[in-house]
Amino acid sequence: MTLSPSVLSVPMAPGVLPRCAEARCVVRSNLPVNGEYRLLTLDAPPEVLDCQPGQFFQLLCPEPEGEHPFLRRPMSIYGYDAEAGQLQFLYKVAGAGTRGLATLRPGGMLNVLGPLGQGFSMPQHWQDLLLVARGVGLATLAPLARAAQRSGRRLTAICSARRPELAMSVDLFRGYGAEVIVVHDEDGSSTPEALRGLIEARIAAGRVDAFYTCGSSRLLRLLQDLGQRHGIPGEIAMEQQMACGLGMCQACVRPFREEGGIVQRRVCREGPVFPLLEAIA
């Protein structure tokens, strides 16, 4: 018997966010990528595939044996393809929710809600893009790299990890035409000091118009400093614990800088993508 996705439309406030949908998607595959991460691929209906890079979904995770995850889990989009009808998430098994995701088998069903949040922007004058992230943070930048390739941008992706074999999405970024640089903790190449020299050399060569990053506080502080010194803008996808993912519960509020002082914003609704210099590590 073939299982078909079902969709429940969820209208959003006009002019704020596009419509999202709740859908029951069919699991196509759920495979380990390395010793820490798994790639979940779903057959999804068109209503949940009108996505932007940087957006996320709220996943209703299955209950692993003896555990009962109560809330949906927010997860950034790793890949989406409306023509193929597929949606992908890259995740690390770390808690009850992701342990539940790891139990999914081909042919099973997963309830998703999305796409949610504000995605990355890519102004026309940003032609040389530098993507810097660590671990699963690179998953959030994968759809951005795809969009950049389609619009003819030049890409450099710095992939940071604890060990070389744990560097994520290296082949994927290369497939999108990026120059990929892998840095890691074992040889010290991933320290902020080492990265500073690496990035400043590219700035001096005129190869950086904008920074993009996700998650890491130390990378945020480094890129903010370089951005201020050299007048380079950028964006960051913020990571934050969430409950509803729709902006109602206020659980994901955190402070941001504006010219008039510090303001409070919801990561799920006003974000998760924010201007780099406004974020507070």
**Is 73 labeled as ligand-binding?**
yes
Tokens of 35: 């010793």
**Is 46 labeled as ligand-binding?**
no
Whose structure tokens read 């081909």? Answer: 106
**Is 248 labeled as ligand-binding?**
no
**Is 51 labeled as ligand-binding?**
no
Tokens of 129: 């893009």
**Is 215 labeled as ligand-binding?**
no
What does the alpha-carbon distance between residue 89 and residue 72 come to, in Å, rounded to a whole number? 14
Q: Hey, is 67 helix, strand or coil?
A: coil
Task: DSSP letter for 185, please.
Answer: T
What does the alpha-carbon distance between residue 35 and residue 14 come to, in Å, rounded to a whole number? 43
Give the bridge partners for 261, in sequence order: 258
Residue 125 burial (C-beta neighbours within 10 Å; 0-12, 13-18, 19+) = exposed
**Is 98 labeled as ligand-binding?**
yes
Residue 53 burial (C-beta neighbours within 10 Å; 0-12, 13-18, 19+) = buried
What does the alpha-carbon distance between residue 247 and residue 253 come to, in Å, rounded to a whole number? 9
Q: Give which of 25, 22, 96 is closest to 62, Cα–Cα.
A: 96
Tokens of 115: 């796409």
135 and 168 in contact (C-beta within 8 Å)?
Answer: yes
**What single letter denotes the amino acid at residue 5?**
P
The number of beta carbons lying within 10 Å of the beta carbon of residue 127 is 15
What does the alpha-carbon distance between residue 265 and residue 248 come to, in Å, rounded to a whole number? 12
Residues in the chain: 281
Residue stretches of the annotated binding site for FAD: 73-76, 97-98
Residue stretches of the annotated binding site for [2Fe-2S] cluster: 244, 249, 252, 268
Residue stretches of the annotated binding site: 73-76, 97-98, 244, 249, 252, 268
